[in-house]
Structure 1
Amino acid sequence: MGKVKLLAVAMLCLAVVLSGCGASNTVKGTGIGVGAGGAVGAGIGAIAGNTALGAVIGAAVGGTAGALIGKKMDKQKKEIESQIPEATVESVNDGEALKVTFDSGIFFATNSSTVSDAAKNALSNFAVTLQQNPDTYVKIVGHTDSTGKVDYNQTLSEKRAKSVYDYLLLNSVGTNRLTYEGKGIHQPVADNATPEGRALNRRVEVLILANEKMIQEAQQGTLK
């Protein structure tokens, strides 16, 4: 194996270790960007390809700018966790992005794409955190389990993602920040053969990514 491949493998291992341990986003954002390059991003993207995370892997800024973005994301992660206990919040993309997962069983009735009354409070609080952190893009992705017809589940996942999108719009999150899509049954995170696995697969994931303004400020060293 050549030196270039060895370096890529070493950096890939570092990335996996950082993403799996308790390292802060600041540490993650610094570590992976120093010499890692696109090969590492592509490798991790393949590992994480069954979730919305695959959409952002490989786009890390890295270095000092990545550390500043990571620090900013750490702050928002804590805000979301404190205000929205219904959500699971993970640091992704080497700490430079967040993935917020909502259980579809909490958000929607069976076979429904109407946001439940119980979920509206969580989404309203989520919208507040997005308003307080305006320099980000937000991608909403709906998922289902494998029960039922593939086409039906695809449409249901799209409608559920659109419902979250619409509710955030109603709560003053700008349309220029928001996108949505449905993945249906195609990106499970657990075994559809068990009730527990199917419950985990019925979800809505929201990715929070730095926009151009945040990246530019980070690169200039002015991001606070």
Structure 2
Amino acid sequence: MKLLRRFALFAMLGAVVLSGCKSMTGAQKGAIIGTVGGAAAGAIIGRTAGNTAVGTAVGATVGGVTGAIIGNKMDKQAEEMKAKVPEATVERVGEGIIVELPNSILFGFDSSTLSAEAKANLDKMITVFSTYPDTDIEIQGHTDNTGAAAYNQTLSEKRAKAVYDYLIAKGVAPARLKVVGYGLTSPKYPNDTEANRALNRRVEFVITANEKMLQEAEAEAARQGK
């Protein structure tokens, strides 16, 4: 019975996260995810969705009242990010935020040099990062499947690192940032048309609570429990 209940929880989690249920806030989703266990849920959902950003966001989930408090803060940050950077795709997942920028507005063809448009959009994102300093940011680089796997891996790393270097140059604390390149290994769309391949060429930002936000949320949850 315990195994069946756990399976049911994972199934519910997958449905909630992958469907992007409109009737629930990010905070409510985070509270459900926490009943399963963040890291394990993140690994499973990330693999199931073929989406490393979802896996990272879910893996950072703590759940319960603490998670709901964090989720409420992330709801506000996500709405501000949408308003500031309309060119980006912003999604609330668990207790985190995923921000996706396509390479078409970041880099030229086969390049890891940030375009002027890219810098303008990153500047807008930095204003939100500065407003909400108690978060960690993972920068994930992805490519399509055109060309050799080793080449694409290096290109994805260079592109993510270019974003990382720009954020640091603009004052974002290095301790908040992590860079990962996935090359062609994690497409979100089938690599069957040029349009879909273009969608797979992307950089994603996964924004999660840092230790300070977590501790403050735990303290608030304890006060609410009294």
Query: Taking structure 1 as the reference length, what is the TM-score of the superposition?
Result: 0.91
1:100-136 deviation line (CA, Å, top 9, x unaligned) = 1100011100011111001111100101100110011
Q: Are positions 1:167 and 2:174 aligned together?
A: no
Letter in 2 for 1:58: G
Percent of paired sites with the same residue: 48
What secondary structure is seen at the aligned counterpart in 1 of 2:59? Answer: coil
Change (3 A) 1:49 1:146: closer
CA distance, structure 2, for counterparts of residue 41 and residue 177 of structure 1: 20
Runs of 4+ in 1 over 6 A off after TM superposition: none
Q: Are positions 1:57 and 2:58 aligned together?
A: yes
Please tell me whether the aligned partners of residues 52 and 141 of structure 1 are also in contact (alpha carbons under 8 angstroms): yes
Counterpart selection for 1:17 from 2, 15, 18: 15
Q: RMSD of aligned C-alpha atoms?
A: 1.8
Correspondence for 2:44: 43
**1:123-142 to 2 correspondences below 5 Å:** 123-142=122-141
What secondary structure is seen at the aligned counterpart in 1 of 2:54? Answer: helix
Change (3 A) 1:197 1:57: same
Q: CA deviation at 1:41?
A: 4.8
Q: Are positions 1:29 and 2:10 aligned together?
A: no
Change (3 A) 1:26 1:53: closer
Correspondence for 1:98: 97
Correspondence for 1:67: 68
Letter in 2 for 1:91: R
CA distance, structure 2, for counterparts of residue 88 and residue 32 of structure 1: 22
Letter in 2 for 1:168: L
Q: CA deviation at 1:40?
A: 4.5
**Structure 2 gap ranges (5+):** none
Q: CA deviation at 1:6?
A: 1.4
What secondary structure is seen at the aligned counterpart in 1 of 2:58? Answer: coil
Change (3 A) 1:41 1:144: closer
Change (3 A) 1:98 1:190: same
Please tell me whether the aligned partners of residues 51 and 188 of structure 1 are also in contact (alpha carbons under 8 angstroms): no
What secondary structure is seen at the aligned counterpart in 2 of 1:221? Answer: helix
Correspondence for 2:86: 85
Change (3 A) 1:151 1:42: closer
Correspondence for 1:109: 108
What secondary structure is seen at the aligned counterpart in 2 of 1:208? Answer: strand
**1:145-224 to 2 correspondences below 5 Å:** 145-221=144-220
Q: Are positions 1:8 and 2:22 aligned together?
A: no
Please tell me whether the aligned partners of residues 51 and 189 of structure 1 are also in contact (alpha carbons under 8 angstroms): no
CA distance, structure 2, for counterparts of residue 124 and residue 40 of structure 1: 33
Query: Taking structure 2 as the reference length, what is the TM-score of the superposition?
Result: 0.90
CA distance, structure 1, for counterparts of residue 68 and residue 15 of structure 2: 17
1:6-50 deviation line (CA, Å, top 9, x unaligned) = 1112212322333220111121122332x4236655532431354
Correspondence for 1:122: 121
Change (3 A) 1:51 1:43: closer
Range 76-85 or range 21-30, more displaced: 21-30
